[in-house]
């Protein structure tokens, strides 16, 4: 007790004294104290149990050791060595003290002194792994590769989880061009019985750096089992599942990556970047609904994460959740400088969500900013059509046509077909006929125009032979189309050919059994055939499904 007090007094008295460092020995590699390998050896040494020491001696050793670390970090290596020697005197069996003193030897280039110190310490311990590993490192530094390999393998026998040994052996095998031996090390590591999850993560991270002789795409697949073992060893470790998810994502196993990342977030919802990675994994695994949920959660954390909105909008479009897509596009527009396409997409989404009033507002907002974009006026026309304001819809179509004058890409068969439909809905039948014929002149195979024109004639009971030919030709392009079958059946009805009409209407109902227009036509045909009970049944069903049931109910009455 009294002797130790004198030692500490002396150390305190020379606190500012700095011994000159000895130059590295000839041909020796400089000691790199910042190497991950050094940190792994030191961390392993801290886990080594040592023989019991008087509690006061252990406390004194700990104090001196801490002072030594402080002065070593400041670069006062001589003073650090004195404190470490005092710590070793108080607790001679404590392996971390021996490790720090050996580090100082190596930093000074005194590899022989350090190796002698390690040999002496090895004779006094039954847990030699960190000492052997540091010895292997010294041989690696001095170019004695065979001895480095021998001592690293001895250390691995004692502690298969000590990652430093794999680093040392990989360096030996690289220098001797034995790259296959590095792969053997990975196999050996995976066979080890290591209970602690952090050790498996450490080994996985280590081999990620050691397998550079493989393509980047293969490395993640090779190290993935380390992280799987970590997650299995500690199923409640958010970090283990996070690392498993990250590596699985890089390995291209997207389903397991998503499951691991979801588990990590379940255990720790605040994990940085995990939600982005989870969303990506779910997208890559074609689990789009779950991906949308992950991105929604991400937006709850950071509503201003503008990069998320386009992905989420596209996801909801794929999921046919058009109203949700529109809601997020609305938010995205408020966070950015809007372009015409933004309002076009917004109006289109509202139309697909059957929200014509909102579609009209979106188109009008776009027109206020960009009044000369014909596509915005076209979408405005579609929105007005859905609200049944057919005259206003036709005006919007005409406005779009005027703005696009000379633009053949815009004024194409699609546009003129829709303009023809707008004219028909607005009661301008002659103009509608002219436009459908214009479409057929532009594209002689446009079967939708064939059907629409033929049906329009059938409704008005004009040009029935021509209507029959047009619709029959349309059916050659799409022979099971219920709309076309209904049109031809309706032509036959108007011609008084009720049995033929029935055949085509029944085929149409096989494709669309709940279409009110086809059911209404079918009821009319059955009534003409004298099958009033069946006709009433068809009309009742049609009335229940129709937006305008009164004319159908009048027939029933």
- Which among 66, 82, 113 has a CA at the least distance from the CA of 18? 82
pLDDT at 2: 36
Taking the CA atoms of 242, 244, 246 and 249 in sequence, report the sign of the dihedral they define: negative
322 Cβ contact list (under 8 Å, min separation 6)? 316, 349, 350, 352, 353
The tokens of 266 are what?
A: 């379940």
For the cut 90, the answer to whether the pLDDT of residue 387 exceeds it is yes
For the cut 70, the answer to whether the pLDDT of residue 50 exceeds it is no
The tokens of 187 are what?
A: 């196999």
For the cut 60, the answer to whether the pLDDT of residue 202 exceeds it is yes
Q: Which pLDDT tens digit goes with each residue over 430-447?
A: 999 999 999 999 999 999
> What is 346-358 written as a DSSP string?
HHHHHHHTT-HHH
pLDDT > 70: percent of the chain = 92
Q: Distance (Å, rounded) from C-alpha 318 to C-alpha 312?
A: 10
Rounded mean pLDDT of 280-300? 91
- Cα dihedral value 316, 318, 322, 323, nearest 10: -20
**Confidence (pTM):** 0.66
pLDDT at 28: 40
For the cut 50, the answer to whether the pLDDT of residue 3 exceeds it is no
pLDDT at 49: 61
pLDDT confidence bin for 8, thresholds 50/70/90: very low
Residues for the chain: how many in total? Answer: 557
152 within 8 A of 184, measured Cβ to Cβ: no
65 within 8 A of 83, measured Cβ to Cβ: yes
Rounded mean pLDDT of 77-96? 84
| Selected residue with higher pLDDT from 306 and 10 | 306
């Amino acid at each position: 007790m009294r002797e130790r007090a004198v030692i500490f007094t002396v150390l305190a008295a020379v606190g500012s004294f700095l011994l000159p460092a000895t130059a590295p020995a000839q041909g020796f590699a400089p000691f790199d104290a910042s190497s991950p390998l050094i940190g792994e050896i030191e961390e392993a040494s801290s886990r080594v149990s040592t023989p019991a020491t008087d509690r006061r001696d252990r406390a004194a050793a700990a104090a001196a050791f801490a002072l030594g670390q402080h002065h070593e970090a400041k670069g006062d290596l001589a003073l650090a060595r004195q404190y470490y020697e005092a710590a070793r005197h108080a607790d001679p069996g404590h392996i971390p003290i021996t490790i720090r003193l050996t580090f100082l030897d190596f930093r000074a280039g005194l590899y022989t002194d350090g190796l002698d110190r390690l040999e002496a310490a090895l004779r006094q311990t039954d847990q030699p792994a960190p000492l052997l590993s540091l010895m292997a490192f010294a041989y690696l530094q001095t170019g004695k590769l065979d001895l480095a390999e021998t001592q690293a393998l001895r250390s691995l026998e004692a502690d298969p989880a000590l990652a430093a040994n794999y680093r040392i052996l990989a360096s030996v095998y690289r220098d001797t061009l034995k790259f296959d031996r590095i792969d053997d090390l990975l196999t050996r590591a995976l066979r080890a019985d290591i209970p602690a999850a952090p050790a498996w993560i450490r080994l996985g991270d280590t081999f990620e750096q050691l397998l550079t002789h493989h393509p980047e795409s293969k490395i993640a697949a090779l190290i993935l089992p380390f992280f799987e073992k970590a997650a299995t060893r500690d199923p409640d470790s958010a970090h283990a599942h996070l690392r498993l998810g990250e590596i699985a994502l890089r390995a291209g196993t997207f389903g397991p990556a998503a499951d691991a990342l979801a588990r990590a977030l379940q255990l720790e919802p605040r994990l940085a970047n995990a939600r982005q990675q989870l969303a990506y994994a779910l997208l890559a695994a074609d689990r789009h609904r779950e991906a949308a949920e992950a991105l929604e959660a991400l937006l709850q954390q950071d509503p201003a994460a503008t990069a998320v909105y386009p992905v989420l909008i596209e996801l909801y479009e794929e999921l046919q959740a058009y109203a949700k897509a529109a809601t997020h596009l609305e938010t995205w527009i408020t966070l950015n400088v809007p372009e015409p396409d933004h309002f076009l997409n917004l109006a289109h989404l509202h139309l697909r969500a059957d929200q014509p009033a909102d579609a009209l507002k979106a188109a009008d907002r776009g027109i206020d900013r960009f009044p000369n974009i014909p596509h915005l006026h076209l979408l405005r026309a579609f929105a007005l059509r859905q609200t049944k304001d057919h005259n206003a819809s036709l005006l919007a179509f005409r406005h779009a046509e005027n703005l696009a004058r000379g633009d053949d890409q815009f004024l194409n068969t699609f546009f003129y077909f829709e303009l023809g439909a707008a004219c028909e809905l607005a009661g301008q039948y002659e103009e509608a006929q002219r436009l459908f014929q214009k479409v057929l002149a532009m594209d002689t195979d446009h079967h939708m125009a064939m059907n629409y024109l033929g049906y329009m004639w059938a409704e008005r009971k004009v040009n029935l032979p021509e209507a029959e030919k047009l619709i029959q030709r349309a059916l050659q392009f799409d022979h099971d189309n219920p709309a076309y079958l209904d049109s031809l059946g309706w032509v036959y009805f108007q011609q008084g050919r009720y049995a033929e009409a029935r055949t085509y209407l029944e085929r149409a109902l096989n494709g669309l059994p709940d279409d009110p227009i086809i059911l209404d036509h079918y009821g009319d045909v059955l009534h003409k055939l004298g099958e009033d009970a069946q006709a009433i049944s068809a009309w009742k069903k049609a009335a229940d499904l129709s937006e305008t049931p009164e004319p159908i109910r009048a027939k029933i009455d």
